[in-house]
């Protein structure tokens, strides 16, 4: 199943005498085990239509059956003709409902596991091209060059696979969290401002998945760089505005490992850096 790691600031305190990079697990995604649908009683099973074993599919029964009895006479029987069948069906449907709730979660976890497997395979094949990041502080603005929608605070992360479990683990890479400098330069932010905020980021050990310190940093930056800049704690708090703004929304995305400044400009203009144009998974 999917497990979310401890809060970054908590980890900083908990593992201050150990290697924080090795300890800082962001999340784990294991491959869950599917279970079979509970077997209905014999008096009910013969009346069920095909597909009753599939979670998310409402079981259906034949309301009427026609067959030949032992003496060869054709008989038509309604399902409701036998009270024990109705009682057995109700009992089985309740048992199946409990199983289905659990199994739907298993199927969702399997889908996530499959997505991580595809991502892991891609990174193994093209590790020189792509890098996995965790980001936060989504900067949004209808700029003169197009719509901008991308995190400004990013951290390289590692995706590891333990085939013996099997399980995927995402944790911080050895690089420190950083600002998305290419984006800020593209937006016309002065290099001195970028350098100053990067120093604040490094000294304060601000992490994309941090708490109040991260929120305070993002708020100070957007209001310090843009006179009309706005900060919102979450997407649900965002108000309609023409001003540039930042809101918090932790996410994972697949970016280029060594993307130059010119490549960044072209990608921003062509794709406007909307989340739908990258491989992004919200946390």
Averaged confidence pLDDT in the chain = 83
* pLDDT interval class at 6 (50, 70, 90): low
Side-chain half-sphere CA neighbours of 81 within 13 A: 11
| Model pLDDT for residues 47-97, shown as the tens digit of each residue | 999 999 988 889 999 999 888 877 888 889 999 999 999 999 999 999 999
For residue 128, pLDDT over 50 is answered with yes
Domain spans of the chain, in order of start: 130-282
Distance between CA atoms of residues 208 and 153, nearest Å: 6
- Note the pLDDT tens digit of each residue in 85-107: 999 999 999 999 999 998 988 88
With a pLDDT cut of 90, the percent of the chain lying above it is: 50
Instruction: Give per-residue pLDDT as tens, 261-282.
Output: 444 444 444 444 444 444 444 4
HEC string of the chain equals: CEEECCCHHHHHHHCCCCCHHHHCEEEEEECCCCCCCCCCCHHHHCCECCCCCCCCCCCCECCEEEEECCCCCEEEEEHHHCHHHHHHHHHHHHHHHHHHHHHHHHHHHHHHHHHHHHHHHHHHHCCCCEEEEEEEEEEEEEECCEEEEEEEEEEEEEEEEECCCCEEEEEECCCCCEECHHHHHHCCCCHHHHHHHHHHHHHCCCCCCCCHHHHHHHHHHHHHHCCCCEEECCHHHCCCCCCCEEECCCEEEEEECCCCHHHHHHHHHHHCCCHHHCCEEEC
pLDDT of residue 282: 43
* pLDDT at res. 4: 63
Mean pLDDT computed over 169-179 = 88
């Amino acid at each position: 199943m999917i497990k979310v790691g401890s809060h970054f600031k908590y980890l900083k305190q908990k593992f201050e005498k150990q290697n924080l990079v090795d300890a800082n697990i962001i999340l784990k995604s294991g491959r869950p085990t599917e279970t079979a649908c509970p077997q209905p009683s014999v008096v009910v099973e013969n009346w069920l239509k095909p597909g009753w074993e599939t979670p998310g599919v409402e079981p259906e029964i034949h309301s009427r059956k026609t067959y030949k009895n032992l003496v060869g006479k054709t008989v038509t029987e309604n399902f409701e003709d036998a009270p024990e069948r109705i009682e057995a069906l109700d009992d089985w449907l309740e048992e199946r409902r409990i199983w289905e709730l659990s199994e739907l979660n298993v199927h969702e976890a399997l889908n996530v596991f499959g997505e991580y497997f595809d991502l892991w395979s891609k990174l193994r094949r093209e590790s020189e091209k792509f890098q996995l990041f965790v980001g936060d502080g989504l900067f949004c603005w209808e700029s003169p060059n197009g719509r901008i929608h991308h995190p400004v605070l990013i951290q390289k992360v590692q995706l590891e696979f333990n085939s013996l479990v099997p399980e995927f683990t995402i944790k911080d890479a050895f690089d420190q969290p950083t600002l998305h400098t290419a984006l800020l330069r593209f937006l016309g932010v002065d290099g001195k401002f970028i350098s100053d905020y990067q120093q604040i980021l490094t000294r304060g050990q601000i992490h994309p998945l941090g708490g109040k310190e991260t929120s305070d940093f993002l708020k100070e930056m957007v209001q310090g760089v843009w006179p009309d800049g706005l900060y919102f704690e979450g997407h649900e708090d965002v108000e309609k505005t023409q001003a540039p703004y930042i809101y918090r929304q932790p996410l994972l995305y697949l970016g280029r490992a060594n993307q130059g400044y010119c490549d960044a400009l072209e990608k921003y203009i062509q794709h406007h850096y909307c989340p739908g144009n990258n491989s992004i998974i919200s946390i």
